[in-house]
Each structure stands twice: as C-alpha cells, then as structure tokens.
Amino acid sequence: MPTSSAAVSMRAAVRRYSRTRRLAAVCACLPLAACAASTATSTATRTASASLPADVIETPLSATPGDAVRGRAIVANRQVGLCLLCHRGPIPEERFQGTLAPDLAGAGARWSAAQLRLRIVDSHRLNPDSLMPAYYRAEGLTRVGKAWQGKTLFDAQQVEDVLAYLETLR
C-alpha cells in the first residue's frame, strides 16, 4: 500500500512529539536538588574556576580510599546518585537507563582518576552548560531550595566511592 507524503510527515511529527514528551518526563523527574545544582554557573564563579587546574582534581577528598562496591550502589540508586537517569551503565539489573549523557562503560579507560573526580565534583568547570549536577559543590549555585542551601549532594566519601567504581569500568 503506497503511503502519501502527508502520512509520512504525520508519522515523523508523532515520533518527534513522543521523543519530546519522553525528554520532558525525564526532566520532570529530576529532584529539586539536582536541578538547582545544574543551573548555570555565575560569571564570577567561572572566573574563579579559571585559576584552578583545567580538568583535574588530583587530591582525594577523603582519607579513606573509595570502595567500588559502595560506588556501584550509589550509581545504581535512583534516590541517591540518579546517575542512570541520564547515563547508561553496565548495570544490567537496572532498567530504563538514560541516553542523555555519555555511557559509563569504559569511563575508567577514557579518563584518569583526577579527571573523573572533577567530573563528579563539578562538571560545570569543564562545561558551564552541563546538565549534570555538581555533586560536591555548595557555593555559587542559584535557585537552590532552602533545605539544600549550603549542602552538597554527595559527601567526600561518596565522591571517592563513585570514583572507585568508575575506575573499574575499563
């Protein structure tokens, strides 16, 4: 049965609408803290960040080495890390993984530990327009709910645990 160009055009419009609705649904699921942390960085913060090393945080944030098992649990947990909301990862038991951000598989081979640490702590230092929240930054954020003001999304040990897990993904 031949299809008219109007029917083909209609199907394409429906597919675009479906994708837009899925993206809107994903964005609506982000908790207020993650949305607040992902807001654009102010010019003053960008200027201050320029004096810091470009793409690394060499020094571990905690005295205790990271634990990859705990890190995997944080990445997979949809109430703590929310990583799989945007990223896909080698965690087959978790369904409905994201496609908005880079795949976590191979992250340990693509970036050094110091580069991964910076990406977890504050990805906005690399890309001010990043959607990824700053998991270990409390200053310089806008539109932060009162309950989250002055607080980070992860503590130092959680950052190191997630880092330890990502380093195993080679």
pLDDT in tens, 70-118: 999 999 999 999 999 999 999 999 999 999 999 999 999 999 999 999 9
Residues 94 and 121 in one domain: yes
State the burial class of residue 149 (Cβ atoms within 10 Å of its Cβ: 0-12, 13-18, 19+).
exposed
Q: What is the CATH number of the domain that holds 93?
A: 1.10.760.10
Q: How far apart are the first and last CA of the chain?
A: 49
Q: How many domains does the chain have?
A: 2
Q: Which domain holds residue 81?
A: 31-168
Residues 57 and 94 in one domain: yes
Residues 3 and 70 in one domain: no
Residues 23 and 39 in one domain: no
* Interatomic CA distance for residues 120 and 111, integer angstroms: 12
pTM of the model as a whole: 0.68
Contact partners, residue 3, CB within 8 Å, separation at least 6: none
Parts of the chain with a pLDDT under 70: 1-53
pLDDT for position 10: 56
pLDDT for position 148: 85
The C-alpha angle 8, 13, 15, rounded to 5 degrees, equals 95
Can you give the C-alpha Rg of the chain in angstroms? 19
Residues 90 and 148 in one domain: yes
Residues 6 and 37 in one domain: no
Residues 36 and 69 in one domain: yes
* Interatomic CA distance for residues 96 and 4, integer angstroms: 35
Residues 154 and 120 in one domain: yes
Residues 16 and 53 in one domain: no
Residues 136 and 154 in one domain: yes
Residues 23 and 38 in one domain: no
* Interatomic CA distance for residues 143 and 6, integer angstroms: 44
pLDDT for position 4: 56
> What is the 3-state composition of the chain as percent helix, strand, coil, each rounded to the nearest 5?
50, 0, 50
Long-range contacts (CB closer than 8 Å, 24 or more residues apart) made by 129-134: 129/40, 130/38, 131/38, 131/86, 131/100, 131/101, 132/38, 132/86, 132/101, 133/33, 133/34, 133/35, 133/36, 133/37, 133/38, 134/37, 134/38
Residues 66 and 88 in one domain: yes
